[in-house]
Structure formats: structure tokens, C-alpha cells
Amino acid sequence: MRITVIGCGYVGLVTGTCLAEVGHQVVCTDNDRERISSLKAGVVPIYEPHLDALLASNMRENRLSFTDDAAEAVRSGDAIFICVGTPPKENGEADLSAIDNVARLIATEAHSSKLVIEKSTVPAQTGQQLKRALSVYRRHPAVEFRVASNPEFLREGTAVEDFLHPDRVVLGVEDEKSEKELREIYHPILEATAEKTNFRCPVHLSGCPPAKSAQLVVTTINSAELIKHASNSFLALKISYANMIADLCEKVGADVQEVVHAMGLDPRIGRQFLNAGLGFGGFCLPKDVQAFVRLAEHSGVNFNMLREAEHVNKRRIDLFTEKIRQALWVIKDKQIGILGLAFKANTDDIRFAPSLEVIRRLLAEGAHLRAYDQEAMDKTAAIFPQVRFCREPYDVARDADALLILTEWPEFRQLDWSLIYDKMSRPLILDGRNLLNPQAMTQLGFEYHCFGRPQEKPLPQFLPAPVLRASSAIAQQA
């Protein structure tokens, strides 16, 4: 099919590139002309594993193209995916102005009938407003617009794998023709997962995950829109619940890793997203929780449990900075190293990243900061020019009074921590992601603090602390 994707952010780029990969003819457009120029040159403006390889191969095969002529892009597609941003307003509601602008664009520029598909995360009943806008601004009376909802379930860092090997594909439709076209769009993916083949997925270059059967779920538009917000809000609840368990573990002397591991073995609960630490960040969960709460309020539904989950999440930074203060006593003029800036591993995204607020507070108290992140340093440097950014993780430890772990990059587990011990002025680790093994760290001589795990005293300084030179013990998280 001929497909147009409007919006070349995380969702739009992955959607357009992966749809081209399975055989469709895809044109992507965006109102950011600089971004389109970069994409035309084959430069991907975000870090997402495998995306650059897919984009380059599909551009060579002429299945994927980019244009800043949005009107021409609208006219070229039989189906149009709306993948624009829906950022939060000050009151937490989703800002749907970009959706409205796209609706006007499609209505005025389309010369033939179109299937218009919401891919952006939007509140329930947005599809009904979209249909109304397309009808009101329609320039050609003979043109028919059909609206569908197809929410995305892409995780940054694994978005390509999630699109090509989905757990489920949700189609929110109100007519048989729209359902038929959407089934046709996703047929290559659904057929491949049903047969448990990896078709032409380039992820195999780095080890493609085992194929799984995707569940096709056909619903109304309102239900499809609600599914996305309900899913993300529930994940936020799980994270905040794990963090409350961690706080309780600290009070009663239990180990949160042991508790959530056993909890997760119950198939009704599951282990994913039961991770204690600095809490959730990124662009999706925080804004989706706020938007879902506002939607519930407007609908007369009390969703205070989500407000509490949001409150728990915001307090994680307070608790972490208090741990820093208690460990250092005075923060002013201390040399502090930071490992990790992105809101999660395998992305360069720093939107709503906990690291940013930690950095703001430490700078406000007069700390001197060095930081390292293999992907997110350039974006962070634009916000905090006063921070020194290092190209090697070991450089942040030089003469440091404390070392903070703020992102769960696997790379950090494999560091030579005995070398880091030798470089630091004071061997103090504050692990905001519970990434390392407390016993192994204390055996190396570190003072180690994290969330919800018993704090062991380091070995006396007169003992040769770097006896355990290998980092294999640290790489195995308890």
C-alpha cells in the first residue's frame, strides 16, 4: 500500500521505516525541515537500535522517502498515519493542537478518499473529534475520510523489535473497509509472527529475538484509544508500587530484589516493571499518567491511585538527593561523577529523565559534576554547559567524592570497578538504579547505597580492598 506518515519523531520514524521494511511504499513528512534534510541524507536524529540500518536499506530500495512538502505527502498516501506529538499542558491534559493542525492539512489537501489512522497517544474520544474536524474542513465534498485508531506499544531502545515482533496489534475501527485496509497493512507482520518466521527482519544481524505470535485485537476507536493510556498508566503503577516496597524494605531490613523476584514469579503479577530506583521518566509514562488522570476527572471518575503513583514517582528524586546529602554531609564543592543521563538504557532520550533533576539540585548546592553517557551527553550538554562531560566512564571517577548511577546501561556492570576505586577520592557509590551487586561492591571496599537493599559496611581500609580485581561478581545483579 501507499502510506503516508506525518511526524518523524520516535513513533513516526519507527512506524514509517518498519512499514517500508515489510513492503509498503512509505512517504514521511514533518514540519521540522532541518530534520527532514537530515533524514534525506540518511542521518537518523535519534538513537534507536537497528533503526539506522533499516532506514538506509529501505531508502536504497526506494520504499521509503522523506519530504517537507506535507501537502504532497497527504495526496500520495492511501492511508495516513498521524504520529505527531501530544505533549502535556500545564494542567496535565494532552495538547492536541498538532492533531488538529494535521486534520486541517489532510482535509484541505486530500484529493482522494483516505484512511486516517491515529498512531499518536491521545485521550479517548479524540477520534470522534478528528472525524468532525476532517468533515468540517474538507475542501472536496466527494472525498471520503475514514478514521481509525492504531495505538503504538513501542519501547524506546527496542522499538524496531517491538514493531516487527509485536505482542499485540490493536485496531480501533468503525467500519469493515477500515478494518480490511488495516489488516492488509499489518498482514506481513501478522503472517510472519503466526508462522514464527523473522521474514526479512534486519535485526537478525545482531540476534533477532524468537518470533512470537502477535494477537490481533479489533475494537472500537474509543476502546483502542483507552487501551494505550490504560496500559502505560498500569506500568507506572507497577513501578511506583515497587518503589514503595523498596522504601518499606529499608525500614524493616528486607531486600527489595528478593521480594519483587518472588512476587514476579506469580503469573498474575509478572516481573517486568517491578524495579525499584529513581522511578519512571521519558516522554510517555509521565505525560500519559497526567493525561489519563485529567480524562478521568473530566469523566467524573476518581483516579486518585494514579495521582498517588505520580506523587511516589516525584518523591524518588527527593529520597535520592537526601541519600547523597547523608552520605556526603556537605555537597558544596564536592566532586561528583555521574554515570548515565538518558531516562533509560538503549536510548539517547533525556525528556523527563530523572538525571536532569538530580543534576539541577546538585548544581544548585554548589557541586562540581562530571558525567558520562554513551548516547545522551550531547543533548544534556545543551542544557547544562557547566557540567564536564567525559568520553570515557572512568574519567568521571577521577578524584570524585561520590559516583552516582542514574541510568541502567549494561555497560556499567562490566566496568573495572577496582580501577574506579583507585581513581576516586572517596569510594562512595550511590546507585539510583540498583544496577550493581551490593556484596561485591562492599567487598571491593566501596561504601555503597541504593534503594531497598540492606547496606553492608565496606571492608576495613587496612585490608587490600581491590583483592577482587575481576568485575564478574559485580556484573551479576543479585
Q: Tell me which of 41-50, 344-353, 469-478 is least confident.
A: 469-478
> In sequence order, what are the beta bridge partners of 118?
82, 149
Convert the pLDDT of each residue in 204-250 to its tens digit: 444 455 556 789 999 999 999 999 999 999 999 999 999 999 999 99
Q: Any idea which residue has 514464527 for its cell?
A: 196
Provide the percentage of residues in the chain whose pLDDT is more than 90.
84
Coil/strand/helix, residue 400: coil
**How much is the pLDDT for 195?**
56
The DSSP code sequence of 267-302 is TTT-STT---SS---SSHHHHHHHHHHHHHHHTT--
Identical fold between 2-219 and 228-478? yes
Pick from 339, 319, 321, 327: nearest CA to 452: 319
Q: What mean pLDDT is predicted for residues 155-180?
A: 95
Strands 428-431 and 402-405: parallel
Q: What is the pLDDT of residue 88?
A: 87
Residue 157 has pLDDT above 70, yes or no: yes
Average the pLDDT over each of 299-303, 406-410, 454-458 and give the range with the smallest value: 454-458
Looking at domain 228-478, what is its CATH homologous superfamily?
A: NAD(P)-binding Rossmann-like Domain (3.40.50.720)
What was the pLDDT predicted at 214?
86
Position 90 pLDDT exceeds 80: yes
What's the start-to-end Cα distance of the chain, in Å?
49
CB crowding 160-196: b at 16 or more within 10 Å, else e: bbbbbbbeebbbbbbeeebeebbeebbebbbebbeee
Q: Is the dihedral of CA 417, 418, 424, 428 positive or negative?
A: positive
C-alpha cell at 13: 520514524
Q: 462 or 32: whose pLDDT is higher?
A: 32
- 244 vs 246: CA distance, rounded Å: 5
The pLDDT tens digits of the residues spanning 53-88 come to 999 999 999 999 999 999 999 999 999 999 999 988
Catalytic residue list: 284
Q: What is the pLDDT of residue 466?
A: 43
Domain boundaries, the chain: 2-219, 228-478
| pLDDT per residue as tens digits for the range 360-389 | 999 999 999 999 999 999 999 999 999 999
471 pLDDT more than 50: no
Element (H, E) at 404: strand 402-405
Q: What is the rounded average pLDDT of the residues 295-310?
A: 92
The CATH number of 2-219 is 3.40.50.720
Q: Evaluate if residue 198 carries a pLDDT over 60.
A: no
In 3D space, the residue among 32, 29, 22 whose CA is nearest the CA of residue 80 turns out to be: 29
**pLDDT of residue 277 exceeding 70:** yes
pTM of the model: 0.87
Helix, strand or coil, per DSSP, at residue 178: helix
Across the range 26-44, mean pLDDT stands at 96
Which helix (H) or strand (E) element contains residue 405? strand 402-405
**Residue 103 to residue 25: CA distance in whole angstroms:** 22
| Listed range (8-22, 136-150, 152-166, 204-218) with the worst mean pLDDT | 204-218
**Distance in angstroms (rounded) separating the CA atoms of residues 5 and 26:** 7
Is the model's pLDDT at 203 over the cut of 80? no
Q: Residue 404 in contact with residue 339, Cβ under 8 Å?
A: yes
Among 172, 95, 84, CA closest to 131: 172
Higher pLDDT, 367 or 298: 367
Look at phi and psi of residue 32 and say left if phi exceeds 0, alpha if psi is from -120 to 50, else beta: beta
Looking at this protein, which amino acid is placed at residue 274? L
Predicted local distance difference test score (pLDDT) of residue 473: 47
Each residue's pLDDT tens digit, 432-451? 999 999 999 999 999 999 99
